[in-house]
Structure 1
Amino acid sequence: MRTSQRRYALRRRVLFSLPSVLMILFIAGCSKLPDLPSAKVTTVASGLMAPMGIETDWHGNIWVAETGTAHNDGKVVVIVPGSDKNATATYDAIINLSSITNALSGEVEGPAHMLFDNGILYILAGDFLYTADVSSFRPGDPAIDATTLSHEDIGSYVRSLNIVTPNDSHPYNLTKGPGGDIYIADAGANAIIQRKKAGDYSVFAQFPDFPNPTSVGPPYIQRVPTGIIFNGNGFLVSTLTGFPFLKGEAVIYRVSMAGKISVYKKNLTTLTDIAPGNFFGEAVLHFANFGATDFEPNTGSLLLTNGLTTKTIADGLNMPAGLKQTNHKSWYVTSLADGTLLEISYTGGGN
């Protein structure tokens, strides 16, 4: 190639790459999220028993954790979507999972969140981390009895450390990090627990209480981590906050691989889960606004945040608890109050 041709080819590569470079710089440096197209909310399944966490498998089936009634009757069900996303079939996949009453809060703690990893389903239920090989399970097969599954007592380990007052543990959500380690958000101990393998646990990070600015409730409010994702460099953790569930006090934290905590986004309210969003930011669930005596129905929302600003993808949700991204324009969401699985997706253009 002659010199002039080489220069022309180089100039073409530079010019053609400029839009991509400018877009990357725009996304990295812009604090304002773009306007979002309207979102469509579709009910995929109903009649679920206090549904929480969501996972999807390689066949497109949807696995949902059901909390149970504190009689060791927690479940994982598999939902097979119909071709039109409306006609579905629901099957029991795992039954008799731990479902107990928390001795401190009096709340039911059953199957919460799950993690799929190469055919293995990890399930947090009560104090336990269950491990189930579901690589050959098909919807309609006899349900797996959880009493036959390998399980680890995460809750007893955490309580033995006595790292929170009053002493508590509620293994709630989990994600996989570098080297295959599992990181567990404990909503009772307000900590992230690192699991290298069965029986090999350590406290990776802790979230301190903050002063209660009101005269209602305790003098200090707990952060209560609820969702955790690994973003390639570290973790993002959503928090609910404890009673009185103040508006604007929930925080998304950034946690480095050294366990150092910093604020990613503040001024949010009662967050219950976090998931990838799109290249503009992360998706996060706002559970509900807290009224005079309880959470107010139909005040939840699915949000998109880039750490600086936040926009609403869908609102009017009834106490959403679990979140799973299916693509950069679509998410599955469980409604704890309605007992439904929803699909929320963009109906127009945008990213």
Structure 2
Amino acid sequence: MKTSRTFWLSLSTVVLVGWLVACNEKEEVVPEPEQLTAANFADQLRAPIGLTLDTKGQLWVTEAGTGKNDGSIVMITPQGTKTTAMTGFPSVIANGAIEGMSHPLFHDGKLYVLHGVSGMLYTIDVASFKAGDAPLNISTAQKEDLGTYIRTLKLTDPINSNVFDLVVGPDGNLYIADAGANAIFKRDKATGKLSLFAKIPDAGTKIEAVPTGIVFDGTRFLVTTLSGFPFAPGNAKMYQITTDGTVSEYKTGFTTLSHLTLSKNNKPLAIQMAEFGATGFQPLSGKVVNEEGKVLLPSIMMPTDIERSGNREFYLLSYALGTIQKLTY
């Protein structure tokens, strides 16, 4: 009898300890940010356009370079160590800006990199690449021509294509936002075949939408738009797209949205690139905003990418300054 009582007391203790551990391991309830604090993380990047995080917390950054066919990919460790992973991508100077590279995406040990000027998708196996390694040879990257097919659809007048951002959808296919064709394309994971998924409406009479960022929140795709010239205040929008390609407005009243990410709660946070004035895009007029337009971080210099790296942490890239900041709240 004594043995039985001791056994049941021991079992009760184990159950109680297990319950307490389970309670302590419950996922933290993370509030939405009300404001963000910025700290410098990396600098001396050459016209960086986009960034993506891998499973080790390393950043992969696309650099447009100097306009002399020197676009590149840089890997940055969580400690800030930079290593050039691949270089030699085409880059040109057009309309006073350095163009070529677009956004990258890390998925399953591979880096998918869009190149807007040439309309190419590069696929690079970076699973074994580490800090300090010599750059990978660009000839080892798989290259797919997306732009030729997109231009045959004649979605704009004049015909245009600028593959700019991409995300993996719930079906495992890549979904690609084209800032020139004002459309989203689906690339089949098995065959590589490209097809039109959704067309983004114009921002006004003879004002193009210019989609710049795409994410999937678990239910739908969300897309940001820059809007075309004259980049009027309040003319940029967030669109939502169902998994069958139906497009509708999600939030409106933004200005020159250049990218977006999702909070821990799958709420979109977007970046305003800049306000446009008589002399062009105004310095330090970029912002991080939530889906209601509330400013979470003001006075940013031409941001072009934002990625969440933790429950309360983000990385923010500045194309103009060549910097990455770590944002927290």
CA distance in 1, matches of 2:200, 2:36: 34
What is residue 89 of structure 2 aligned with on the other side? 97
- SS at 2:280 equivalent: coil
CA distance in 2, matches of 1:170, 1:230: 21
Q: Which stretch shifts more, 280-289 or 255-264? A: 280-289
For 1:94-243, what aligned pairs fall within 5 Å after superposition? 94-100=86-92, 108-126=98-116, 127-197=119-189, 199-212=192-205, 220-243=206-229
> Is the CA contact (8 Å cut-off) linking 1:96 and 1:147 kept in structure 2?
no
The one-letter code sitting in structure 1 at the alignment partner of 2:274 is A
Is 2:271 the partner of 1:285?
Answer: yes
Q: Summarize the alignment of residues 1-351 of structure 1 with structure 2, pairs less than 5 Å apart.
A: 36=34, 38-82=35-79, 88-100=80-92, 108-126=98-116, 127-197=119-189, 199-212=192-205, 220-279=206-265, 281-305=267-291, 309-346=292-329
CA contact (8 A) 2:32 2:263 kept: no
Question: How far has the Cα of 1:145 moved from its partner?
Answer: 2.1
Structure 1 residue 43: deviation in Å? 1.1
For 1:167, the aligned partner's letter is I
CA 1:154/1:109 → structure 2, altered by over 3 Å: closer, same or farther? Answer: farther
Name the structure 1 match of 2:24.
Answer: none
What is the alpha-carbon distance in structure 2 between the residues aligned to residue 81 and residue 199 of structure 1?
33
TM score, norm. by length of structure 2? 0.85
Residue 59 of structure 1, CA deviation: 2.1
SS of equivalent residue, structure 2 residue 127: coil
Asked if the contact 1:158–1:189 (Cα under 8 Å) also holds between the matched residues in 2, the reply is yes
Going from structure 1 to structure 2, the CA distance change for 1:315 and 1:79 (only over 3 Å counts) comes to same
Query: How many residues are treated as equivalent by the alignment?
Result: 298
- Judge conservation of contact 2:32–2:265 (CA < 8 Å) in 1: no
> Which amino acid letter does the alignment assign opposite residue 74 of structure 2?
V
What is the DSSP-based 3-state SS (H/G/I as helix, E as strand, rest coil) of the residue aligned with 1:180? coil
Q: Tell me, yes or no, if the aligned pair for 1:76 and 1:92 is still in contact at 8 Å.
A: yes
CA distance in 2, matches of 1:35, 1:76: 31
Deviations for 1:96-143, whole angstroms, at most 9, x for unmatched residues?
Answer: 1232467xx685432211111110110011311000010000011110
Q: Which amino acid in the other structure matches residue 144 of structure 2?
A: E
- Per-residue deviation, 1:73: 1.4
Alpha-carbon distance, 1:281 to partner: 2.2
Q: Distance in 1 between matches of 2:46 and 2:218?
A: 34
Q: Given the superposition, is the C-alpha separation of residues 65 and 268 from structure 1 closer, same or farther in structure 2, using an over 3 Å criterion? A: same
The residue matched to 2:276 in structure 1 has which SS? coil
1:38-77 CA deviation, whole Å, 9 max, x = no partner? 4221111111011111111222221111012343311110
CA–CA distance in structure 1, aligned partners of residues 51 and 242 of structure 2: 25
CA gap 1:35/1:42 in 2 versus in 1, 3 angstroms: closer
- How has the CA–CA distance of structure 1 residues 34 and 341 changed in structure 2, closer, same or farther, with 3 Å as cutoff? closer
Q: Runs of 5+ in structure 2 lacking a partner?
A: 1-28
SS class of match (2:171): helix
Q: 1:140-167 CA distances to partner (integer Å, 9 max, x unpaired)?
A: 1110122331110111221122111110
Q: CA deviation at 1:199?
A: 4.3
Give the TM-score normalised by the residue count of structure 1: 0.80
Structure 1 unaligned regions, length at least 5: 1-23, 25-32, 83-87, 213-219, 347-351
Q: Quick one: which amino acid aligns to residue 311 of structure 1? A: K
CA distance in 2, matches of 1:280, 1:325: 11
- 1:17 corresponds in structure 2 to none
Judge conservation of contact 2:124–2:140 (CA < 8 Å) in 1.
Answer: no
**Distance across 2 between alignment mates of 1:203 and 1:67:** 27
RMSD (CA atoms) = 2.1
Distance 2:283 2:236 in 1: 19
User: How far apart, in 2, do the equivalents of 1:152 and 1:41 lie?
Assistant: 37
